[in-house]
Amino acid sequence: MGYANASLDIALEKSKSLIKILHTADVHLDSPLVSLAWRNEALSEKVKSATREAFVTLIDHALSETVAAFLIAGDLYDGAKRSAKTAAFLNAQLERLQIAGIPVFYIKGNHDAENPLTGDVALPANVHVFDGRGGKVKLDEHDIWIHGVSFSGKHAPDSLYKKIPDPVSNAINIALLHTSLAGSAAHDPYAPCTVAELSSMGFDYWALGHIHKRQVHSEAPWIVMPGIPQGRDIGEPGPKSATVISIEQEILSVEEIHSSAVEFLPLPIDVSSAHNEDDVRALIRRHCQDMTRAIESESGIVRVTLTGRTHLRWQLLRDIDVWQEYIQSVAEETDSLWIEKVRLDLQDPVDHRTSTGATDELGTLMSAIQLEDSFNTMTRREVESLIGQLPPGQKALLMSDESIIEKLCRTINSEGAEFMLAQMKGASE
């Protein structure tokens, strides 16, 4: 009995000496989903609420693990859109941490700097927001200092990290910084700096934000980009996460924790082996079932692409609407998958580039027409007319990005030409 009590005492002492801190960034609460907003309202709402669900998951984890601090390394908000509901939701969740005595340390990123809520909303008293001059705060009862500096505008100079106060001697020092580091093809170069520059400053842990893909850049010191806690489109695929820092006897370790409510997933299905449409259906069903077992989040939003060389190419293209409905019905049967889009990327089993049939000549003619300025101008007018019929919010999202309009026009022209060929070839094969 004495041995058991001694073991329990040791375990209790160890639990007291272990300090945990949760690090997240790029929450992008209620981020608008341009690619889904005009295609499927129910799906758009599901993903919009997912950013909140992911944040609640992080709060739940912080409470269950009794973390010593909750760090937000920028872009808690998304853009300049004002929302009282977002403000109310955020305050309610942060108050849960306040009731538990957990402090929150928050730096503003580029998206936060342009959002009016960051200046208008009074956050709970447990939230410390670092300003653009930089500062540091000591954690109560722990020899741990949290440092940080916020964006004061949408853009920040490459010297932003130099505003962070020097680390405190004989203590654990953690610094929050919203930065693109040396750059990323998918992100704008905000507050750029190098891993070497951060490593030389004497901090134990750099809690970064801005790049949405998780990456541990260094372990001595720790330089961690936790990634986005909830993906927002197919360009941010797979399960998402945050990071928990564990500190025991001045030794730091990190753990990735799952946070996403839904995950975006590409699903390529090679139909080269299919002899008939029954085989294609069997392949689709099997791949959807496999993906249902593989996803880590509650739901998966899937972009299905049928690929490969098949003599069924033109029949599948001709009946694309039927296949979309079939794939959607298979996904609904799983109770966990949603179909974001169905694409066909198929080739003929034999190279017909030298063919001179009527349909091939028509294909060549339509390809040439797509290059004509007058044709593209006509397509653009039609697209803008259709967008003009959308609700104001969705219309504004689409019309605000020139690249979206151009891509949409190209897609309509290309897919329209291929569909016309499919009507002819599919009927003759």
* Domain span at 47: 16-258
* Residue-wise pLDDT tens digits, 255-306: 999 999 999 999 999 999 999 999 999 999 999 999 999 999 999 999 999 9
**Domain membership flag for residue 4:** no
**Is 101 found in the same domain as 46?**
yes
Please report the DSSP string for 189-229 in residue order: --S---HHHHHTT--SEEEEES-SS-EEEEETTEEEE---S
How many domains, the chain? 2
**Is 25 found in the same domain as 41?**
yes
**Is 110 found in the same domain as 36?**
yes
For the chain, first and last CA: distance in Å? Answer: 83
Residue 314 is predicted with a pLDDT of 87
**Tokens representing 340?**
């974001």
Question: Which of 283-292, 304-313, 415-424 has the lowest average pLDDT?
Answer: 415-424
Percentage of the chain with pLDDT > 70? 75
**In the predicted structure, residue 10 carries a pLDDT above the cut 50:** no
Q: Identify the band that residue 410 occupies on the pLDDT scale cut at 50, 70 and 90.
A: confident
Q: How far apart are CA 333 and CA 285, in angstroms?
A: 10
**Domain membership flag for residue 10:** no
Task: Specify the higher pLDDT residue, 359 or 233.
Answer: 233
pTM check: above 0.85: no
Task: Specify the higher pLDDT residue, 91 or 44.
Answer: 91
Q: Identify the band that residue 406 occupies on the pLDDT scale cut at 50, 70 and 90.
A: confident
- From the number of C-beta atoms within 10 Å of its C-beta (0-12, 13-18, 19+), residue 309 rates as middle
Q: How far apart are CA 403 and CA 61, in angstroms?
A: 39
Return the top range by mean pLDDT from 24-38, 205-219, 352-366, 394-408.
Answer: 205-219
Eight-class DSSP state of 166: P
Q: What is the mean pLDDT of residues 9-14?
A: 46
**In the predicted structure, residue 363 carries a pLDDT above the cut 70:** no
Eight-class DSSP state of 240: -
Residue 12 is predicted with a pLDDT of 43
CB 191 within 8 A of CB 178: yes
**Is 333 found in the same domain as 315?**
yes
* Residue-wise pLDDT tens digits, 60-119: 999 999 999 999 999 898 866 657 888 899 999 999 999 999 999 999 987 776 555 445
Residue 152 is predicted with a pLDDT of 79
Q: Identify the band that residue 236 occupies on the pLDDT scale cut at 50, 70 and 90.
A: very high
Last residue of a domain, one of 206, 232, 258: 258
**In the predicted structure, residue 123 carries a pLDDT above the cut 70:** yes
Residues β-bridged to residue 269: 306
Tell me phi and psi for residue 55, to 5 degrees.
-65, -40
**In the predicted structure, residue 47 carries a pLDDT above the cut 50:** yes
Percentage of the chain with pLDDT > 90? 56
**Is 283 found in the same domain as 173?**
no
**In the predicted structure, residue 369 carries a pLDDT above the cut 70:** no
Pick from 203, 199, 211: nearest CA to 110: 211
For 223, residues 6+ apart whose C-beta sits below 8 A from its C-beta are: 195, 198, 199, 205, 206, 208, 216, 217
CB 212 within 8 A of CB 198: no
**Domain membership flag for residue 159:** yes
Q: Identify the band that residue 385 occupies on the pLDDT scale cut at 50, 70 and 90.
A: confident
**In the predicted structure, residue 387 carries a pLDDT above the cut 80:** no
**Is 269 found in the same domain as 244?**
no
Can you give the CATH number for the domain in which 58 is found?
Answer: 3.60.21.10
